[in-house]
Amino acid sequence: MERNDNSIPVKLDSLRQEISDIDKKIIDLLEERATLVKKVGDLKRLHRLPFYSPDREKKIYKMIEENASGSFPIKSLKNIFREIMSASIKLEEPLTISYLGPEATFTHQAAMERFGLSLHYLPEESIEDVFMDVEQGRVDFGVVPIENSIEGVVHYTLDMFVNSSVKIVSEIYIDIKHNLLSKSHSLEEIKAIYSHPNALGQCKGWIKKHLPNVPLYETVSTAKAARIAEKDEEAAAIASLAASEIYGLNVLASGIEDKTNNTTRFLVIGKQIPKPTGDDKTSFMFSIKDKVGALYEILSPFYKNKINLTRIESRPSKQRNWSYIFYVDVEGHLEDEKLKGALQEVETLTAFLKILGSYPKAQQR
């Protein structure tokens, strides 16, 4: 029996109509959600509550994981809800987010991954500028890099916390994928390579193999390198794919990082510590008293209370020679009784203790 192909367009039209009907229901539900969001915004404004709540955001993502059947990819669902939340925050209060710019840096990418496309973004030339924006109330939140899985910690960000009043309110992990971008169309035309020192370091193996005699020049950001390449056809930049689109550059090579597990952690800084979610991280800094076994003594309360330290980093204090400030990340929230007790004990043992924030733990990549 021959198949009647004339029925296929009819079936397609029928299925598409069903999809359109569902789309209309989605729109109606989003409109209903927006009405509730505006009421929430009014209450927040009346009681001076924060318009961005990392704890609430984490609960929504957890709800997605618990309720998704798998028919629609969970990652895509999270992306959709990120934009719904971004638009909702704008309905409540149009927030401004500053970040280490210019446009198309990985910090810009991290900011958009956390806050979505609906909010206003302010690029800054330095990490210090981002801190000052938040501290002086010019923006609502800032996004800065803190550490890379290959290159290590961003010391300047750590140093800024010593004298700043800002708090860490969230963290973001971004997979770093480097690309060689240029106005030219072949590697043979490249006479210079520009990028941030970390990016150059992360791609040195590829550069040595493919462009061993081309001089390297450091820039303050990968996006700044893309700007240079935009104006010089013999120059290439190591930067993100987003930079190729923004600055009109050709992708001469993609994925040129030497190690595939290249991830950078970013911090969102603000003024208020979020509420606990049950899966949190707390960051703090301290300096030790000058005596034998001081560091061991300070870390003992965490061991006794079975609190996991996820990172400890030391930096010169810049107050006096051979003195150091230690930066620590631990699992838990300031409101957790065990952690609260441990930190109270630590405070009696240190010359200086400062809480940097308690915030929802992000999923590492």
In the chain, what percentage of residues exceed pLDDT 70?
Answer: 96
Q: Who wins on pLDDT, 166 or 320?
A: 166
pLDDT tens for each residue of 204-220: 999 999 999 999 999 98
pLDDT tens for each residue of 94-152: 899 999 888 888 899 899 989 988 999 999 988 999 999 999 999 999 999 998 887 78
Per domain, the residue ranges of the chain are: 95-176+263-267, 179-254, 273-360
Same fold, 95-176+263-267 and 179-254: yes
Q: Give the pLDDT score at 319.
A: 62
CATH architecture of 273-360: 2-Layer Sandwich (3.30)
Q: Of residues 157, 222, 264, 350, which has the active-site annotation?
A: 264
Q: Of residues 115, 266, 284, 286, which has the active-site annotation?
A: 266
Query: What 3 state SS string does the chain have?
Result: CCCCCCHHHHHHHHHHHHHHHHHHHHHHHHHHHHHHHHHHHHHHHHHCCCCCCHHHHHHHHHHHHHHCCCCCCHHHHHHHHHHHHHHHHHHHCCCEEEEECCCCCHHHHHHHHHHCCCCEEEEECCHHHHHHHHHCCCCCEEEEEEEECCCEECHHHHHHCCCCCCEEEEEEEEECCCEEEECCCCHHHCCEEEECHHHHHHCHHHHHHHCCCCCEEECCCHHHHHHHHHHCCCEEEEECHHHHHHHCCEEEEECCCCCCCCEEEEEEEECCCCCCCCCEEEEEEEEECCCCCHHHHHHHHHHHCCCCEEEEEEEECCCCCCCEEEEEEEECCCCCHHHHHHHHHHHHHEEEEEEEEEEECCCCC
pLDDT tens for each residue of 303-322: 888 999 998 888 877 666 55
Q: Give the pLDDT score at 321.
A: 57
- Its CATH class, for the domain covering 179-254, is alpha beta
Q: Who wins on pLDDT, 2 or 61?
A: 61
User: For the domain bounded by 95-176+263-267, which CATH number is listed?
Assistant: 3.40.190.10
- Res 251 pLDDT > 90: yes
Q: Give the pLDDT score at 1.
A: 44
Averaged pLDDT, 228-238: 94
Identify whether 260 is a catalytic site residue: no
